[in-house]
Amino acid sequence: MEDTGERHILNGHFNNKSELYLHLLHIATYEYAENFVKNKTVLDFGCGSGYGTEMLSKKAAKVTGVDISTEAVDYAKNNYNSDNLDFKTISELKNEKFDVITSFQVIEHVPNDIEYVTKLKKLLNPGGYLLISTPDKTHRLFNHIQKPWNIFHLKEYTSKSLENLLKKHFFKVEILKIGSESDLVLEEITRTKKQKIITLPCTLFFYPKPVRAFLLKLQKQFFDLKNKSRINKPTAENSTADNFDSEYSSENIIIKKEIEFSTDLFAICINN
């Protein structure tokens, strides 16, 4: 499966602390979800490569991972196997019901978020939990004037806008933040703030998506060309790059109501 950066694949290679932080964030999100799934029937909606679905299967009674991509589903089937674990495409999902639905780093990709939430609600048993994670646009985008600079994202959310959407469908919604109290998170926040400024001319709100995509691709080609000559130059940072990943683990990632340094949102919704 091609690694586009959007479907997380466990390969153990990180070029910088930002990449390591995002990897640990993915792992920690599923670890947090394990608190909700013991002996439950679980749907992992947007399972990607399947590593997280497999994590949930160790505590759940049964887990089904679904994805829009046949390639991702085939990858998951080939790499993760368990008696209580199943992978299929979203189109193969029938009128099943689940106790818990996880859908991590998905909502920002869907063209109609209301239809997406409505679909997930219909798949939940009464009293069931829907767990959603998504990037927090606070550090990533200028409010009102900027569309996502991640070309795979159609819409990004603040804590308030995500809560407002979900409260229309669930009687109880709690929005937590995902971040870290270590220095691990700072490089990612710096990166996204930089992207916010650099990409602004390419991501103004009135651009249709094809124009935004073209301008972002053009800008990326320019910076790739500009940075090409720097790739093989040794630096003090590169000399220690092989060691930084051993300093951190998913325990450095925190999910709670308020964190000083956070990058993502985690929603807990209870079905009525």
Q: Is residue 73 part of a domain?
A: yes
pLDDT in tens, 53-89: 999 999 999 999 999 999 999 999 999 999 999 999 9
Q: Is residue 176 part of a domain?
A: yes
Provide the residue range defining the domain that includes 53.
17-192+254-270
Q: Is residue 1 part of a domain?
A: no
Per-position b or e across 147-164, b if 16+ CB within 10 A of its CB: bbbbbebbbbbebeebbe
Token pair, residue 55, equals 């994590």
Decide which of 246 and 90 is more confident: 90
Question: Does 258 score more than 50 pLDDT?
Answer: yes
Please state, for a pLDDT cut of 70, what percent of the chain lies above it.
92
pLDDT in tens, 154-211: 999 999 999 999 999 999 999 999 999 989 999 999 999 999 999 999 999 999 999 9
* pTM of the predicted protein model: 0.91
In the chain, the number of structural domains is: 1
CA–CA gap between residue 267 and residue 131 (Å, rounded): 6
**pLDDT at residue 13, rounded to an integer:** 78
**pLDDT at residue 1, rounded to an integer:** 57
pLDDT in tens, 95-130: 899 999 999 999 999 999 999 999 999 999 999 999
Q: Is residue 174 part of a domain?
A: yes
Q: Is residue 4 part of a domain?
A: no
Mean pLDDT of the chain: 91
Cβ neighbours of residue 71 closer than 8 Å, sequence gap 6 or more: 1, 2
Collapsing DSSP states into helix, strand and coil, what is residue 64? strand
Q: Is residue 100 part of a domain?
A: yes
Question: Does 240 score more than 70 pLDDT?
Answer: no
pLDDT in tens, 40-62: 999 999 999 999 999 999 999 99
* CATH number of the CATH domain containing 170: 3.40.50.150
Within 10 angstroms of residue 72's Cβ, the number of other Cβ atoms is: 22
Decide which of 170 and 6 is more confident: 170
Q: Is residue 77 part of a domain?
A: yes
Q: Is residue 212 part of a domain?
A: no
